[in-house]
Structure 1
Amino acid sequence: MPVTPNKLKRTSVVLVGAAFAASTLASVALPASAVEESEAHAPAAGFTVKTFSPAGAESAPDDITRMGDSVYVSFQNDVGPLGEASANGATASTVQQFSLDGKPGKSWQVTGKVDGLTADPEHHRLLLTANEDGNSSFSTLSPDQAKPLTTYTYSGLTHGGGTDAVSVVNGKILVSASAPADTSGPAAYSVALEGTTAKLTPFFGDSATATAANGPQAGKATTLGLTDPDSNTQVPASAPRFKNSFMLDAQADQQLIFTSNPGSGKQALQVLSVAQPLDDTVFAAHSDQTLLVTDPKDNKVFSITGPFKAGEAVSAVVPDAGPSYLANLDLGTGALAAIEDLASIQPKGLMFTGGDEDKQDSQDGKRAGQ
């Protein structure tokens, strides 16, 4: 049955194009202006929240990643999900660099609405997708190069929509096949960059067979019927379940699809049902990691330290009614428990970073579960 993409997508929040002229790192303690600005986000005991605040006209931060000693955030500048110009004529998103303490660095303009952003530290580049509902493209951005941005044209995009989140899993580039025309196409693709072409190969389908991971049919085979592939990530080995799997969020379907042994001949799918639509879900690889959160409603990026445990799953819940919120995800039951101490934050993009990752390799840049 055909799907109307714009009715399903909850990720078409739009954003910015201007580069940062300056920015401040506000914390829950420090200057009076910063205190006043941050008090609404000061949680109760257990968490410390710092804020990366834009100083220009940019708005609505979305996806976020880290490479080396920099954090990169995509700002979409009100560009539409097909790449349509915003009300003020903007046709490009901005990718903004921050230092780990929130100071802005370089910025780059990327044509279209940048929906997917991740680090590829092996090649010291960022991977980007634009336009989630159609007219999609794929780009690489090498921050230290004289000509940093390279844009590729897709071949093999067969599902009738666009592309969204991007991850690097076992050396493979994987993208979500978002806004499908129906449930007969690929849910995700692997990407091979050849010349100026991003060649897509179906990874698994919207109507693939999976094993139910929870609910009354747990342990039984079921046929998927995905209508809204959205965010994706890799589950770390520290997770209590689905270790090292590739996870795809079918947002409107309220399902998370976990692919074990991704890309191998032994690939198998499990589906975890959840009670609310989700955007990003991330996993703490270590107990001492920091959670970075983009909040398009408040137009900020939050850096949160606190009692996160190794393997803990945190989701951005995006209800059909009411504001989005942060919640712990139970990988056994699919239950979602709101993190009340962080209730004032309305999340979009998430990532865990830091901890042992930094100790092992300061140039790692991989997102633990993002």
Structure 2
Amino acid sequence: MDLLRHAFVQFKRTSFAILGVAVTIGALGASALPASAVEHRVSTPPTGYTVYSFAAVGAESKPDDISRLGDHVFVAFQNGVGSLGEASPSGVTSSTIQEYGLDGRPGTSWQVTGKVDGLTADNAHHRLLITTNEDGNSHFSTLSPDDEHAVKTYDYAGLTHGGGTDAISLVHGRIVISASAPTNATGPALYFVDLDGTTATLTPLFADNALATAANGANAGHSVNLALTDPDSNTMVPRTASRFGGDFMLTAQGDQQLVFASRAEPSATLHVLSVAQPMDDTVFAGRPEQTLWITDPTVARRVI
């Protein structure tokens, strides 16, 4: 059974957490969820955490992205669909977006054709932003939970890097998405997205081979050309961060690099930080107390 894990974490000092292969955080203390929120309690959680698990509601499987919209949490279950939208071994061709209350009670679910690999809340418009099929045959969708026809799908115009699309951020009201699985080494690593009618028009932000300043390693302080092969997640760095505060950050997972843009604009100054292992989704602790919502595709996996 696949699980959604809900960790209430209180940060004793400001730091950031990287979720994926590893979690890096300062000294922690935990606060508890109400008993009504618990479906499965994870045994022996790491020191400083209280971790609760919400099981899949039906036959959905492989939870991936997660986002909170208002007082509800939405999880994308990929259901074994392939990265190009290929049917799963059981013939499933759609992902499931499952709604949960903050107390863990399941709500409505929706089907989205393809493999959902990007899911972000757009609170200003009370909707979810969705990308499908990160390796190709990709589409953009919105899901408005209160609408009768909740899911609206858009065709891309201007997708030039040869692959699919992945993680989504909102930066000063503009939609930014990662250009995943590139086949063009000089193509965009990120796009702005403008929605009109049934078209999602893409504008490049910076390229996979853009010039950046190395933030560490043998070339620290010197200009290098990026050679990104795996643009993945993206997010804003809190302004309170001691380094790169207020920057826009792209995780190049397979390249083991984090790329920081001084602003989400084509003219931004870039820095690249090399890391010791591949990273997937990234989250920053920007407040003294914070709740982490994470997904776990197998029961055996733990937060570390």
Q: Same fold (TM over 0.5)?
A: yes
Count residues in correspondence: 279
Distance between the aligned counterparts of 1:120 and 1:144, measured in 2? Answer: 14
Encode CA deviations 1:211-242: one digit per residue, 9 max, x unaligned: 11112221111100001111111112222221
| Equivalent residue runs for 1:242-253 within 5 Å | 242-253=244-255
> Which letter does structure 2 place at the counterpart of 1:112?
G
- Determine helix, strand or coil for the equivalent of 1:210: strand
Aligned equivalent of 2:65, options 63, 66, 70? 63
Q: Tell me which moved more, 172-181 or 242-251.
A: 242-251
Q: Aligned in 2, Cα 1:56/1:180: closer, same or farther, shift over 3 Å?
A: same
Identity %: 59
Q: 2:129 aligns with which of 115, 127, 130?
A: 127
Match status 1:38 vs 2:41: yes
More helix by share: 1
Match of 2:158 among 146, 156, 160: 156
CA separation in 1, counterparts of 2:33 and 2:68?
A: 25
2:298 is the counterpart of 1:297 = yes
Q: 2:303 aligns with which of 345, 353, 364?
A: 345
SS at match of 1:56: coil
2:243 partner letter = R
Cα distance in structure 2, aligned partners of 1:298 and 1:166: 27
Deviation, structure 1 residue 26? 11
Question: 1:298, CA displacement in angstroms?
Answer: 2.1
Counterpart of 1:185, as a letter, is G
Correspondence for 2:76: 74
1:264 Cα shift?
A: 6.7
Kindly provide the CA deviation profile for residues 46-86 of structure 1, in whole angstroms up to 9, marking residues without a partner as x.
Answer: 22112222242222210011111111110001000000000
Q: Which amino acid aligns with 1:40?
A: S
Asked if the contact 1:246/1:259 (under 8 Å) is kept, the reply is yes
Per the TM alignment, residue 24 of structure 1 is displaced from its structure 2 partner at its CA by 12
Name stretches of at least 5 consecutive residues in structure 2 with no aligned partner. Answer: 9-31
Quick check: 2:260–2:270 contact (8 Å CA) kept in 1?
yes
Tell me how far 1:38 sits from its aligned partner. 3.0
Decide whether the 8 Å contact of 2:6 with 2:292 is kept in 1. no
Shift of 1:262: 1.4
Give the RMSD, CA atoms, in angstroms. 2.6
**AA of the residue aligned to 2:299:** D
Runs of 4+ in structure 1 deviating by more than 6 angstroms, as ranges, are 23-31
1:53 aligns with 2:11: no
- Provide TM-score, normalisation by structure 2: 0.85
Partner of 1:285: 286
**Unaligned 5+ runs, structure 1:** 1-14, 17-22, 300-322, 324-343, 347-370
**Distance in 2 (alpha carbons) for counterparts of 1:145 and 1:244:** 35
